[in-house]
Amino acid sequence: MLTLQGFYGQTVEIAGDRSYDAEEELWVQSLAEGVRIGVSKVGVLLMGGIESVEFFVEPGDVVSAGDDLVFFETFKAVRYVGAPLSGTILAVNQKVVDEPELFDDDPYGVAWLVEMLPAPGQDVDALLVPPEAYLRGLERSEHCAEGSEVLLEAKKGSPTCRSVYGGLRGNDPGEGSLSHRSREDDASDSTGAGADHQE
């Protein structure tokens, strides 16, 4: 397990046994058949906690990378999440619909989203990154900087973040993200990025 200390004022874990979609803050883990997909601890943290989950897919559906996979209502915003890969949906985890708090408790375990059989011929390396590269990207993000130096530090990586190996658990999620806008922001800006949508 990789651990990043100081990210958005929190300590977050990055599971080392899977790849990541850094754009959507998803993890992708290989299974005996297909892959399992879930939300990283960073994703949960930046959303400020997940109130409810709605799936747009069911077993047997064929999706393309970027197609809407799931809809989250968080404590501050709403967010549509796209599929990191193309393929056929094998299973959907209804448990997280009934217990969305599982994303806080166990984002790399029981709180997975879907299982998928990836379509052949995809350039997976172009769509996903290994955990070490995902961590390095987080170190360079604005959430590793503080105060008035945030933009400067974001460009070069902030000394306020430190990467370690460990197994720290139970960190409380933070709130907000520049990429996850509030409902009020959505109402006043209909031309923003497509990651979040007005209810």
Q: Using H for helix, E for strand and C for coil, what is the string for 41-83? A: HHHHHHHCCEEEEEECCCCCCEECCCCEEEEEEECCCEEEEEC
pLDDT at 145: 59
Query: Pick the residue with more confidence: 154 or 176?
Result: 154
Amino acid at 129: V
Lowest-confidence region among 19-28, 74-83, 103-112, 141-150:
141-150
Whether residue 188 lies inside any domain: the answer is no
Q: What is the pLDDT confidence band of residue 75, given thresholds at 50, 70 and 90?
A: confident
Q: What's the mean pLDDT when you consider all of the chain?
A: 80
Whether residue 173 lies inside any domain: the answer is no
Q: Kindly state the percentage of the chain with pLDDT values over 70.
A: 73
Question: How many structural domains are present in the chain?
Answer: 1
Domain region containing 70: 24-127
Whether residue 3 lies inside any domain: the answer is no
Whether residue 87 lies inside any domain: the answer is yes
Query: Pick the residue with more confidence: 187 or 4?
Result: 4
In 56-172 the beta strands, taken as DSSP E runs, fall at: 62-63, 68-74, 78-82, 87-92, 112-118, 162-165
For the stretch 163-180, pLDDT in tens is 654 433 333 333 333 333
Whether residue 47 lies inside any domain: the answer is yes
Tell me the CATH number at 113: 2.40.50.100
- Global confidence as pTM: 0.74
pLDDT at 58: 98
Whether residue 96 lies inside any domain: the answer is yes
Whether residue 109 lies inside any domain: the answer is yes
pLDDT at 133: 95
Query: How far, in Å, are 67, 89, 99, 113 from residue 102 at the CA level?
Result: 24, 21, 6, 11
Whether residue 73 lies inside any domain: the answer is yes
Q: Are 143 and 174 in contact (CB under 8 A)?
A: no
Q: What is the pLDDT confidence band of residue 19, given thresholds at 50, 70 and 90?
A: very high
